[in-house]
Structure 1
Amino acid sequence: MTVTLNHTIVPAHDKAAAASWFADVFALPREQSDDHFAPVFVNDALTFLFADADRFSAAHYAFHVSEPEFDAILARVRASGRPFGSAPWSRTDGSLNDWNGGKGVYFETPDGHLMELMTVPQ
């Protein structure tokens, strides 16, 4: 049996705004929000379901992407005005890392979730 993560719920202060920001930065399709969720389709197997929440702990989401995708996403992060950094403990140093022989970067969403991009999986 193959186990595949199908969806995860991402808490946000404003689900529609959070879903729009994420979809724009990652250049991903969105569906219309319903009463409970604002979905963003990450790939054929995974959907992020953004949900309104008053209080929540920030989470870490890591994405393996191609070099062209990395460059395009990072350009949109820069255009959004969000700081980025080379490590979880250096989220705002404006640098990239080269761990495992690829490129990597970390940045926070407006709701404080930590996003990680890497061109070589760990």
Structure 2
Amino acid sequence: MPVELNHTIVHSRDRRESAEFFVELLGLAAPVEFGPFLAVQLSNHVTLDFATVPEADITPQHYAFLVSDAEFEAAYALIGTRGIEHWADPRKQHPGEINHNDGGRGVYFADPSGHYMELITVPYGGWPQGEPRR
């Protein structure tokens, strides 16, 4: 069996706020309660399991998501509507912009708990030869 990521735990100040931010931004199904977690299912069957922890225990992590052009447009519209600070680059040198790396589009922003989120429409290095663009 090939190795696949199944789930990861995302430490949050408020698991519901973080999970709902994420599902609303990306148009995903509502989170499902699973013990102390709120699980958000991604299309590749990976779940992000949001857990409320003391703020001192949150170490900001980076989460990058490959999305379709339509998903990017919808998410970026919400980022604008909600006034979410965002950047074209991880060093925050291009505020209020997106990038066009590898012929796609990308944006960086923070979630309610301070995790670094990234949306991209083309994987780093471009699409593998023969793989159709989404």
Q: Is this a same-fold pair by TM over 0.5? A: yes
What is the aligned-residue identity percentage? Answer: 38
**Equivalent position amino acid for 2:81 in 1:** A
Is the CA contact 2:23–2:31 (under 8 Å) kept in the aligned structure 1?
A: no
- Please give the residue correspondences for 1:94-113 in structure 2 after superposition, counting only pairs within 5 Å: 94-113=96-115
Whether 1:58 aligns to 2:60 is: yes
Letter in 2 for 1:84: H
Q: Report which of the two structures shows the higher radius of gyration computed on alpha carbons.
A: 2
Looking at structure 2, the residues matched to 113 and 90 of structure 1 have their Cα atoms a distance apart, in angstroms, of: 14
> Which secondary structure state, in structure 2, belongs to the residue aligned with residue 111 of structure 1?
coil
Length, aligned pairs only = 122
Structure 2: which amino acid aligns with 1:49?
D
CA contact (8 A) 1:104 1:116 kept: yes
| TM value normalised by structure 2 | 0.84
State the partner residue of 2:73. 71
Cα distance in structure 2, aligned partners of 1:50 and 1:107: 18
SS of the aligned residue for 1:33 comes to strand
Shift of 1:82: 1.1
Cα drift, residue 92 of structure 1: 6.6
| Distance of aligned partners of 1:52 and 1:81 in 2 relative to their CA distance in 1, 3 Å threshold | same
Cα distance in structure 2, aligned partners of 1:64 and 1:112:
20
Q: Deviations over 1:50-81 (max 9, x none)?
A: 00111210010001111111111111222232
Where does the alignment leave 5 or more consecutive residues of structure 1 unmatched? none
What does residue 6 of structure 2 align with?
6
Deviation, structure 1 residue 91: 7.0
One-letter amino acid of the counterpart of residue 98, structure 1: H
